[in-house]
Structures are given as C-alpha cells and as structure tokens.
Amino acid sequence: MTRKLVLLRHGQSQWNLDNRFTGWVDVDITEAGRKEAVNAGQLMREEGLMFDVAHTSVLKRAIRTNFTALDEMDQLWVPVCKSWRLNERHYGALQGLDKAETAAKHGEAQVKIWRRSYDIPPPPMADNDGGHPKFDRRYMKLDEHALPATESLKTTLERVLPYWHDAIAPQLKSGKTVLVTAHGNSLRALYKYLNQIADDAILEVNIPTGIPLLFDLHEDLRVKSYRYLGDAEAAKKAAEAVANQAKTRS
C-alpha cells in the first residue's frame, strides 16, 4: 500500500508580491494568493485526494492557504495541527528587505548563496530587535535558545525533522493521507530529505506557491514517485519565477 503526502506552499503573500524577504514575519496572502489556494484545492479535489489530517506552520499565510484549499475540497472537518517547526526559514537581518535592492548592494551571487545554499545563513537578527521571535507571544513558551535569529536551509531542516519524525511520519505509516501546507524553505528541507538531494544540488530547487506537490510513498516512506498536480509546464515556470526573485532590477 502506498502512502500519500501533499506538500503545498502557501499562496502568494504580500511580501512575495513586494519581493521582500519574509521569513518569520507574519504576512498574509494577497487576493492572487487566495486564488492560488482555491486552485490548489480544485487540483487536489480533481485528483480525488481525501485527507485524514493536515499540518501547517503558525504563520497566517500558511494557515489561510490550508483553510482555503480544504474549504474548496469540502474537507474543512479535517483536523489541522499547527507547529512553529514548519515555519519559513528565518532570514535574520534580511527580513523585510527588498530582494532586488539587497542583490544590488551585496551582489546577486551572495544573495543567491543566502537564499538557496544549504549551510550558509544570512547575517543574524540583533538579539534586541523587536522582531526577534522571543518577543512574539506564540513562541514565549519555547526555550529562548531554540528560537533562531537566522537560519540556513541546513538548520531549517534540523528544525523541521523532529516534527516530521514525531508527528507526520507516524501518521503516514499508519496509512493516513497527509497535507502539509507550509513555506518555500521548510518544504525545500522536506523535499531534500525525502528525495535524498545532495547539499549542492538543493541550490537549484525552488518550490512554487500554491501548486500541490504529491508524493506517493512506500510503507517505509521511501519515495515511490512525486509530481506537481495540474499543468507541469506551469509549475516549472512558477519555480523559475521564484529563482529569479533576487535578481537586480534594470
């Protein structure tokens, strides 16, 4: 028996539209992002997916996308688990900055390393920065030392994996069909883990917004196959658009 897992990146957020580094900042989706979530729900409904449980981060762009997609599927009753471990990668001192302007200042190559490399984090957020997660109510019960001031994809994966092993994997092994609605980098981390992607190869992997990525898994959760639902060419172009976000403007 195969196990079904869907990874869904939230619909376009306001800061996606503004081309800004978002990270843990709690930015909502745009009207275009809501339409992406509706379309994601339609694609999953047409695929005949019947979810037993869903997981999201504690950031509203993922929560709202998850709700909207399940609503479109008439599956709002599905239990939803929220965890900070599925949050977007923390972009440190880059959070809130314009990606193209940052590339113009530091160079496209450096910004690509910060955005897409496996183990090189951006400059950290200052400990007394009001945007530091230790000042956010939703994280106040957590050990302050567990909260990041910056993250690489490597440390994002280290954050995500305990939740995968403790919460998601057992549900899949028990035969449940699972939806994970999260973010570009927390999902890149899971994609890397599931597909055993090399550290250098993950640099070129981009997850588009609002397009469900369906995995068929063996009973031991090895990947049997995976594909984006809907138009494969549209998914490819959307991923390329993500890759081009940090290029300097002419």
Domain residue limits, the chain: 3-243
Return binding residues: 9-16, 22-23, 61, 88-91, 99, 115-116, 184-185
User: Is 235 in contact with 228 (CB distance < 8 Å)?
Assistant: yes
The tokens describing 226, both together, are: 């995976």
Q: Which of 98, 89, 99 is nearest to 124 (CA)?
A: 89
Q: What is the pLDDT of residue 250?
A: 35
Listing DSSP states for 47-105 in one string gives TT---SEEEE-SSHHHHHHHHHHHHHTT-TTS-EEE-GGGSPPP-GGGTT-BHHHHHHH
Q: Which of 69, 54, 55, 63 is nearest to 13 (CA)?
A: 63
pLDDT, tens digit, 9 for 90 and up, residues 232-248: 888 888 887 776 665 54
Return binding residues for substrate: 9-16, 22-23, 61, 88-91, 99, 115-116, 184-185
* The pairing of beta strand 223-228 with beta strand 213-217: antiparallel
Name the residues annotated as catalytic. 10, 88
Q: Tell me which fold the domain 3-243 belongs to.
A: Rossmann fold (3.40.50)
pLDDT tens for the chain, 250 residues: list them.
889 999 999 999 999 999 999 999 999 999 999 999 999 999 999 999 999 999 999 999 999 999 999 999 999 999 999 999 999 999 999 999 999 999 988 899 998 888 878 999 999 999 999 999 999 999 999 999 999 999 999 999 999 999 999 999 999 999 999 999 999 999 999 999 999 999 999 988 999 999 999 999 999 999 999 999 998 888 888 887 776 665 544 3
> In 3-state terms, what secondary structure has residue 27?
coil
